[in-house]
Chains A and B, each alone.
Chain A
Amino acid sequence: MNSKPKPIQIILARQFASTLAMPILIVDTEGTLIFYNEPAEAILDQRFDETGEMSSKLWSTLFALEDEDRNPIGLEDRPMTLALTERKPISRTMWMRCRYGEWRHVQITAFPILGEANQFLGAQMIFWEL
């Protein structure tokens, strides 16, 4: 994928995420996964240096999500999708499974990134294993 210029807020978000132990994903306004940090690499079983940016269609297939009652959560109801489309923060506990992994009980928090004059720049998602 061609990489677009990044606003400073996104550049700093990547720097911040690079120094944290919590798994973090950052997407742009179109939902393209533009960065994930090393703890997230372990969960996604992918390395950012190898995959680079991924379209929303591609990265959304990397893991499955189920709610607390073990009902599948569709793409349109996923936290990152809601943060992008409704531009509101969302935090939920759910079950998550990566391609070859086991189901994990996690808290997922996603929130939009707003810059100067409320310019919408993308969204960020944090996993917290329960």
Chain B
Amino acid sequence: MQVTLWGARGSLATPGPETARYGGNTSCVGVVGREGTVLVLDAGTGIRRLAATIPESVRRVDILLTHLHMDHIQGLGFFAPLYRSDMDVHVWGPGSATQRMAARLRRYLSPPLFPVSLSELPCRLTIHDVQSGEVDIGEFRVCAALVCHPGPTVGYRITSSAGKVLTYLPDHEPALAALRFPSLPREWTSGGTLAAGSDILIHDGQYSAAEYPGHCGWGHSSLAQAFSFGTLVGARRFVPFHHDPNHTDDDIDRMMAEALDETRPAFQVTPGVEGTVLDL
């Protein structure tokens, strides 16, 4: 599979010269399989550019939403395939205890927040409630599990037909679910089983160690916590993701160096830079 980071920023789109290198678009990752299956992980503002790269011949796209915070859905209405009548678009995401996914998503994709309603979209749209468990999408097996983050939030484990594993946990605070982190085994750690043995782990690393205590419970990790999580699950390559909108490129460079120096992970770290392409 080929994995492309179309948006690696968290919380708020952050254009500007000071964020140009890591990028300012919010969460969106494209996954294309060897047989042509197209998955889109989250619909942040990065999804607009991704849409332009989908070949004309593609007739089905699956969008896997981790949760419905704005930075993960704000680009959805600007995803060009939604306006093609010859396109099947499947949107997957978590429902809540009282509302189906479609009803939750409609709160954004309807006036006054957006001029076009879901029911007016020309494409053949199917909205799925993600349950914890596995589903086959094209050549991929996709496993979802609820993880520690405010509101219903899932992570995704995507396994290719060749057995390669990409795990996507862009918003994740496993340290909140442990008195001392990381002290518990994988099965007692949020996301631990989902991410076990990942070839590529794209994971939240929003804060520095100094910033985390002031943001505990907001649903995000420090880079050092993220690297510790990567070690716990035995990741082979780690991509820090969901950069804080207040962090400049130089800030992220500095935070990354400090966290690597503190944790000295055994896995390869590939900075979450918008435009990065990873082959797996």
Binding site for B on A (CB under 8 A): 3-9, 11-12, 14-15, 18-19, 115-117, 119
Contacts and interface: CB of A to CB of B under 8 A. Distances in A.
B187 A6 contact: yes
Contacts, number: 50
Interface residues of B, number: 23
Given A3-B185, A8-B147, A15-B178, 10 more contacts: A5-B193, A7-B132, A8-B146, A8-B177, A11-B148, A15-B176, A116-B97, A116-B131, A119-B131, A119-B132
A11 B190 contact: yes
Nearest to B196: A5
Contacts of A3: 185, 187-188
A7 B176 contact: no
A113 B184 CA distance: 22
B148 A12 contact: yes
B198 interface: no
Interface of B: 94-95, 97, 129, 131-132, 145-148, 152, 176-179, 185-190, 192-193
Contacts of B189: 11
Among B97, B145, B186, B187, find the residue whose CB has the most chain A CB atoms closer than 10 A. B187
Contact of A15 (B132, B179, B185, B193): B179
A12 B147 CA distance: 10
21 contacts: A3-B187, A3-B188, A5-B187, A5-B192, A5-B193, A6-B193, A7-B132, A7-B146, A11-B177, A11-B188, A11-B190, A12-B148, A12-B177, A14-B177, A19-B179, A115-B132, A115-B146, A116-B97, A116-B152, A117-B129, A119-B131
Nearest to A13: B177
A5 B143 CA distance: 14
What are the 8 closest A-B residue pairs judged by CB atoms, nearest first?
Answer: A5-B193, A8-B146, A5-B187, A15-B177, A11-B177, A3-B187, A6-B187, A18-B179
